[in-house]
Amino acid sequence: MNKKIIVLCLMLALFFALVIGVFSLPSFSAWESKDVSRYYMDNSLEKTGSSSVVSAIVWDFRGFDTMGEETVLFTATAGILTLMAVGFRRRK
Amino acid sequence: MLETLVTGALLSVIGIYCVIAKKNLVKKMIGLGIFTNFIHLMLISTGFREGGIAPIIIRENVGFFAAYSVDPLPQALVLTSIVIQLSVTALGLSIAILAFRHFNTLDTEKMNKLKG
Amino acid sequence: MLEYLITILIVSAFLMLAVRRDFIAIAAILLSFFMILALFFQSQIIVVRYGGWTPPFGIVWEVDKLNAFIGLIIAGMASLVTIYSIKCIKERRHRFYTLLCLMTTGLLGVCLTGDIFNMYVFFEILSISSYGLVAFFLDKNAIEGAFKYLVMGSLGSSLLLLGIAILYGLTGTLNFADLALKVSHSREFMIALGLIIGGFCLKAAIVPFHMWKPDAIEGTPIPMGALFSTATAALGVYGILRLLFVFGMLQLNLMLIILGTITMLAGALLALVQINVKRMLAYSGISQVGYVVMAIGFGTSAGFAAGLYHILNNALIKGLLFMAIGCVIYITGKENLDEMGIRNRTLLVCTGIGVLSMAGVPPLNGFVSKWLIFMASWEISPLLTVLAITASAITLAYGLKIFSSLFFAQKRAEGKIPTTMLVPVIILTILCVIIGVFPQLGLAVVEPAVNALLNQNQYITAALGGG
Amino acid sequence: MDVIIRTVTKGIFPFILLLGFSIIFHGHLTPGGSFPGGAVVASGFALVAVAFGLKGAEKLISEETVHLVEGLVALMLAGLILYESFVRKYVGLGGGFFGMWSSPTVLSLNVAGGLMVMSALVLIVFLVVRE
């Protein structure tokens, strides 16, 4: 119980530190300097034909990331197959 | 913008508290999820724009779309990151199921290495 | 050629799910090793643009000498581990190989990519497949180690993602080279870089984040222990190096020296008190990574050469020790230090060479890189040299513990070791001796990597220029 | 489960599938795409697994089918993404903007990704329900 109170106090301190840090944070970079996403917005319709810019980025401009993401999903499936499929047979 | 950052600070503190102080494996996973959601919030708030519109081109706004839309790139990154978070949560919960089968409890106090 | 590499690895992992033949994964990993070997001997920087988009907008992979050096260590260890596990893993081998294939994908992906978010994605492939592999045996140790690793590893990769988010907010781009051009060395940038380096420190098991490693290694199959101590550790150090150098942030030297020294001493001291041999080797691996980080923190070219050389030697020695001890455990079935007597002569000689080399006995390879580290540290501060020699002495002490338990055991178990398990051990032993006797060979491998490290401008221009 | 849930499931299941595939196929025109659509389809199968048990769900889609779909889709994805987006090269942009065929690349990849997400989630649900 004592430990819990200590952790709680630490967390409160961390929260206030974060809030103070947030107020002193300068704003993120100006809109004009983001030329990468500017390029995506300007060229999505002409170069990929997709009118949803997010879909165009996910599947075409940065398609390799999404390939990796599907591999992550497959990895989780393979991991769960490793963990679960055996226990089922053993119990039977 | 500012309230997003304050909410983010709150979420991160709740998440870390959950992971460190809670004794239940499933609650630890929930804490991890909250912490990751804080990061998704931060990531998507980097694309914030005052009075922006959704990044979808329709017939009516073809010409002046880019002047009003919010940043689409963080949204794509968050989409990828959500799937990754789903995979980690699924694997973690199935490990928790196996732990329950071994120890008949989800309490870390009754296990050997996960104490503290 | 690089795009074929990743295609082969991923597709063979997918095929393993349906076809369940081990040779697919074995062939894929061996093939990837030969591809990396071919890349290593190319002179210029290779850039691959996925999907045909030009760099700041699309995703690039980029291989210079540093990448190729670390990738060679990773792919070499992965292929040795693959050969070793043919007989070592007895049940559900197709699942093991599926996950091993994916883990190799993740390791090589993080190592070779030139885009920071792509790095995060491959980092997660690596992490998730490692969680599955740690839990592979499904007993109590494995499950607890896997859960601990999962919670800590997910927090670490969350920190990585947070750092990436701040970097994107500051600059609006994700490509390494483009980031290096656009970034300004402000306080927010330091915070972001610290978060990302924290994520990599967790993978390399630097001391404040080292708790997962002994528990995870105690539960895993022993070939995975070899991979964690060599390839994953090398990858963590590579991440720190690449980020520091591509952004030109050499002010963090002092932090690296302090972390490295603490890691070195704490790892060695904790290894001394262990009775389980897997845990002892795990702590020993942590201690050796401490040497590397300390040497990198010196900031001199002698320090970088010594650090990179020690990565290579640590990979050879730790791989050798884990695999040899794995053979011993294969025969005796016990993991405690005082029950490790065996009769097999070849194995005894190999393990002996590994232990002596780890302790830094002169004609072997461990001595060369440790000597280089001592020399480099003398220029910075003699105190560091004293600390490094102390840690080396402690290494000798626990090395002798393993040595005596092997050579002066009362009970000696008989048993036959499969050839596929013995071949990687012998290969690594021969490499250890050769590099120890002819240190110029090792330096010839390390020297181009150090040059690439010091000339990051080439990396940046190769990514963005050249149409 | 009791009869109400079974009846409701029978009625609602085709519409869940329809909604999911509609989200997938309009991924390049509207918000959403492969992951939300695939998750909706998988939730339909999860509903069947809850209502009729695992036996009932495996009548609809067996584990072997899921494996097969996953393998085929993975090959398709790897081919589509890694080889310089050959759809864009050889098919090009099909006709006017804002239409169903305006973007063959994104459409085909969305369908492949949606099937991948669906098969992975269905497999995970099956494995965990079997416990």
Q: How many structural domains compose chain C?
A: 1
Distances from the Cα of B47 to the Cαs of A28, C201, C210, in angstroms?
9, 29, 35
pLDDT of residue C44: 83
Rounded CA-CA distance C220/C228 in Å is: 10
Is residue D68's pLDDT more than 80? no
Rounded CA-CA distance C77/C104 in Å is: 10
- Tell me if C94 sits within 8 A of C16, measured CB to CB: yes
Instruction: Compute the nearest-CA separation of B83 from chain C (Å).
Output: 11
Q: Which of B52, D77, C75 is nearest to A59 (CA)?
A: D77
Q: Which of C241, C292, C140, C294 is nearest to C449 (CA)?
A: C241
Rounded CA-CA distance C90/C101 in Å is: 18
Chain D residues in contact with chain C using a Cβ-Cβ cutoff of 8 Å: 67-68, 70-71, 74-75, 78, 81-85
DSSP readout, C83-98? Answer: HHHHHH--SSHHHHHH
Residue of higher predicted confidence among D87 and C127 = C127
DSSP state of C274: -
Rounded CA-CA distance C355/C402 in Å is: 8
Structure tokens at C56: 């700041």
Structure tokens at C98: 């599926």
3-class SS at C115?
strand
> Per residue in C376-420, pLDDT tens?
888 888 888 999 889 989 998 888 888 888 877 777 777 788 888
pLDDT of residue B77: 92
- For residue B107, what are the β-bridge partners? B24
- Rounded to two decimals, the pTM is 0.93
Instruction: Compute the nearest-CA separation of B88 from chain C (Å).
Output: 7
Please tell me which chains touch D, using 3 or more CB pairs under 8 Å as the contact test: A, B, C
Rounded CA-CA distance C385/C235 in Å is: 26
Which chain D residue has its CA at the smallest distance from B80's CA?
D35
pLDDT of residue D30: 84
Residue listed under structure tokens 């040795």: C80
The pLDDT confidence band at residue C118, using thresholds 50, 70 and 90, is very high
The pLDDT confidence band at residue C467, using thresholds 50, 70 and 90, is very low
| B55 shares contact with chain A (CB less than 8 Å) | yes
Which chain A residue has its CA at the smallest distance from C48's CA?
A64
**Mean pLDDT lowest for which of A16-20, C53-57, C415-419?**
A16-20
- Tell me if C445 sits within 8 A of C69, measured CB to CB: yes
3-class SS at B107?
strand
> Per residue in C414-465, pLDDT tens?
778 888 888 999 999 999 889 888 888 888 888 888 888 888 888 888 888 7
**Mean pLDDT lowest for which of C405-414, D71-80, D82-91?**
D82-91
pLDDT of residue A23: 63
> Per residue in B23-78, pLDDT tens?
889 999 999 999 999 999 888 888 777 777 888 888 777 777 777 888 889 999 99
- For residue C342, what are the β-bridge partners? C413
The pLDDT confidence band at residue A90, using thresholds 50, 70 and 90, is very low
Rounded CA-CA distance D36/D31 in Å is: 10
> Per residue in C92-110, pLDDT tens?
888 899 999 999 999 999 9
Binary contact (A73, D120; C-beta < 8 A): yes
| C144 shares contact with chain B (CB less than 8 Å) | yes
For the segment B98-108, the average pLDDT, to the nearest whole number, is: 85
For the segment C133-147, the average pLDDT, to the nearest whole number, is: 89
Q: Which of A33, A32, A38 is nearest to A61 (CA)?
A: A38
Rounded CA-CA distance C406/C408 in Å is: 6
pLDDT of residue C103: 93
3-class SS at C46?
strand
**Average pLDDT of chain A to the nearest whole number:** 77
Binary contact (D128, A84; C-beta < 8 A): yes
**Cβ contacts of D113 on chain A, cutoff 8 Å:** 59, 66, 70
**Average pLDDT of chain C to the nearest whole number:** 87
Q: Which of C401, C137, C412, C140 is nearest to C275 (CA)?
A: C401
> Per residue in C238-257, pLDDT tens?
999 888 888 876 677 888 89
> Per residue in C309-340, pLDDT tens?
999 999 999 999 999 988 888 888 877 877 77
* Best of A41, A53, A62, A84 to mutate (most C CBs within 10 Å, chain C): A62
3-class SS at C248?
coil
Rounded CA-CA distance B83/B89 in Å is: 10
C341: left (phi over 0), alpha (psi -120 to 50) or beta: beta
Residue A79 Cα to chain centre, angstroms: 21
pLDDT of residue D62: 74
Distances from the Cα of A7 to the Cαs of A10, A12, B20, B97, C159, in angstroms?
5, 9, 8, 27, 20
Other CB atoms within 10 A of residue D100 CB: 12
> Per residue in C350-359, pLDDT tens?
888 888 888 8
> Per residue in D14-45, pLDDT tens?
999 999 999 998 888 888 888 899 999 999 98
Residue listed under structure tokens 């050796």: C288
Domain of C435, in residue numbers: 2-464
In single-letter form, the type of residue at position C339 comes to E
Structure tokens at B16: 């870390």
Binary contact (A82, C136; C-beta < 8 A): yes
Is residue A92's pLDDT more than 50? no
For the segment D88-110, the average pLDDT, to the nearest whole number, is: 70
Count the alpha carbons within 13 Å of C275 in the hemisphere toward its beta carbon.
Answer: 4
For the segment C180-185, the average pLDDT, to the nearest whole number, is: 82
Q: Which of C250, C244, C236 is nearest to C290 (CA)?
A: C236
**Average pLDDT of chain B to the nearest whole number:** 85
pLDDT of residue D3: 87
Domains of chain B from N-terminus onward = 2-110 (1.10.287.3510)
- For residue C61, what are the β-bridge partners? C48, C113
Q: Which of C381, C407, C190, C176 is nearest to C297 (CA)?
A: C381
Distance from first CA to last CA of chain A, Å, rounded? 42
| B52 shares contact with chain A (CB less than 8 Å) | no
pLDDT of residue D79: 67
Binary contact (D130, A88; C-beta < 8 A): yes
- Tell me if C295 sits within 8 A of C373, measured CB to CB: yes
**Cβ contacts of B96 on chain A, cutoff 8 Å:** none
* Best of B39, B44, B45 to mutate (most C CBs within 10 Å, chain C): B39
Residues with Cβ < 8 Å from A42, sequence gap 6 or more? Answer: B66
Count the alpha carbons within 13 Å of D72 in the hemisphere toward its beta carbon.
Answer: 11
Residue listed under structure tokens 């998750």: D39
Structure tokens at C393: 């002495």
Rounded CA-CA distance C285/C317 in Å is: 10
The pLDDT confidence band at residue A21, using thresholds 50, 70 and 90, is low
**Cβ contacts of A76 on chain C, cutoff 8 Å:** 128
pLDDT of residue C100: 92
> Per residue in A46-80, pLDDT tens?
777 788 888 888 888 888 888 888 889 889 988 99
Is residue C70's pLDDT more than 80? yes
For the segment C284-307, the average pLDDT, to the nearest whole number, is: 89
Closest partner residue to B97 among D30, D117, D131, by Cβ?
D131
Please tell me which chains touch A, using 3 or more CB pairs under 8 Å as the contact test: B, C, D
Cα–Cα–Cα angle for C266, C269, C270, rounded to 5 degrees? 80
Q: Which of C191, C197, C321 is nearest to C260 (CA)?
A: C197
3-class SS at C276?
strand
Binary contact (A88, D117; C-beta < 8 A): no
| B53 shares contact with chain A (CB less than 8 Å) | no
| A6 shares contact with chain C (CB less than 8 Å) | no
Range 176-235 of C in CB contact (< 8 A) with A = 178, 182, 188
Structure tokens at C360: 């830094």
**Cβ contacts of D114 on chain A, cutoff 8 Å:** none
Q: Which of C106, C108, C85 is nearest to C95 (CA)?
A: C85
ipTM for the predicted complex = 0.91
Is residue C349's pLDDT more than 60? yes
Rounded CA-CA distance C180/C66 in Å is: 17
Is residue D57's pLDDT more than 80? no
3-class SS at C59?
strand
Three-state SS string across D50-77, please?
Answer: HHHHHHHHHHHCCHHHHHHHHHHHHHHH
Other CB atoms within 10 A of residue C411 CB: 10
Instruction: Compute the nearest-CA separation of D2 from chain B (Å).
Output: 27
Closest partner residue to C171 among A29, A67, A82, by Cβ?
A29
- Tell me if A75 sits within 8 A of C125, measured CB to CB: yes
The pLDDT confidence band at residue A24, using thresholds 50, 70 and 90, is low
Binary contact (C172, A75; C-beta < 8 A): no
